[in-house]
Amino acid sequence: MDLYLFILTFIIGITVGSFLNVLILRLPKGEDVIFDRSHCGSCEKIIHWYENIPLISYIFLRGKCSKCNSRISLQYPLIELITGLFALLIIPKYISSLNALVFIMKLGVFSIFLTIFVIDLRHKIIPNILNILLFVILLLTSVLTFSWQYIVFGIVIGVGFPSIVTWAFYKLKGEIGLGMGDIKLYGALGAYLGPIGIIHNIFLSCFLGSFIVGSMMILGKVGRRTKIAFGPFIVIIAFFQFFYPEYFSQLMSLFIFT
């Protein structure tokens, strides 16, 4: 593989990761993610461009603000590194317009998955803009690949089935099960996964969520009334469906209804 392409791809990945940190920090607060300058969360010092170079600046600053010396969250270099490494995993074998588009699409989907994962885990919300962006990317990809019936039924089942279950749960228990962000996420994924794929995701994300939350309850880490972020379970399953479908098929072979 061309070393220059390897380095360029990694730089693209960590740069995207740097922007994901902006989204993770600002979207839950409703702040501008384009024009507002980056600043220290403790002393409000404006961060200069040379203090905002992905990975390098964190190492150079030793993980601290240059003015108030407050510690910079390890999240920033981790998100940048994870995105950079993922970009290397999907690097095109040779340069072409089609390969470049596929690379952008895959990196975009992964970026949204990662952003949803962190935001929902921290704030128990999935911003609408993330679900909208994911839906647009997956819909455009599906239109070029699948039939309209596949797409429509995937969306309908993705939105409809969790909505019915949530409504029934509310009627029986008087509590809301899934949030609207989770339901919209299922709908967006349904546009690409189709009817069978989204059913698999619903089943496995619920199974994964039940297993992890149940284990945490046994260990006394959460209570029965604790609000749990469900988006991370959805995107974990979707990640394997989208990027490693062959391994996902093997996993599904373990379950009876496959």
Per domain, the residue ranges of the chain are 1-123, 127-258
pLDDT value of position 228? 85
Ramachandran angles phi, psi of 243, nearest 5°: -100, -25
Nearest Cα residue to 51 out of 36, 35, 67: 67
**Which two structure tokens, joined as six digits, stand for 97?**
């317009």
pLDDT value of position 36? 84
User: How far is it, in rounded angstroms, from Cα 21 to Cα 42?
Assistant: 17
Q: Which residues pair with 64 in a beta bridge?
A: 71
> Would you say the C-alpha torsion 233, 239, 242, 247 has a positive or negative sign?
negative
pLDDT value of position 218? 86
Single-letter amino acid code for the residue at 22: V
Write out 56-85 in H/E/C secondary structure.
Answer: HHHHHCCCECCCCCCECCCHHHHHHHHHHH
> Would you say the C-alpha torsion 214, 216, 220, 223 has a positive or negative sign?
negative
List CB contacts of 124: < 8 A, sequence separation 6 or more: 179, 227, 228, 229
Question: pLDDT tens digits for the chain (258 residues)?
Answer: 588 888 999 999 999 999 999 999 999 999 888 888 888 778 878 888 888 899 999 999 888 888 888 898 999 999 999 999 999 999 887 778 888 899 999 999 999 999 999 999 999 999 999 999 999 999 999 998 999 999 999 999 999 999 998 888 777 766 666 788 999 999 999 999 999 999 999 999 999 998 998 888 888 887 777 788 999 999 999 999 999 988 887 777 776 554
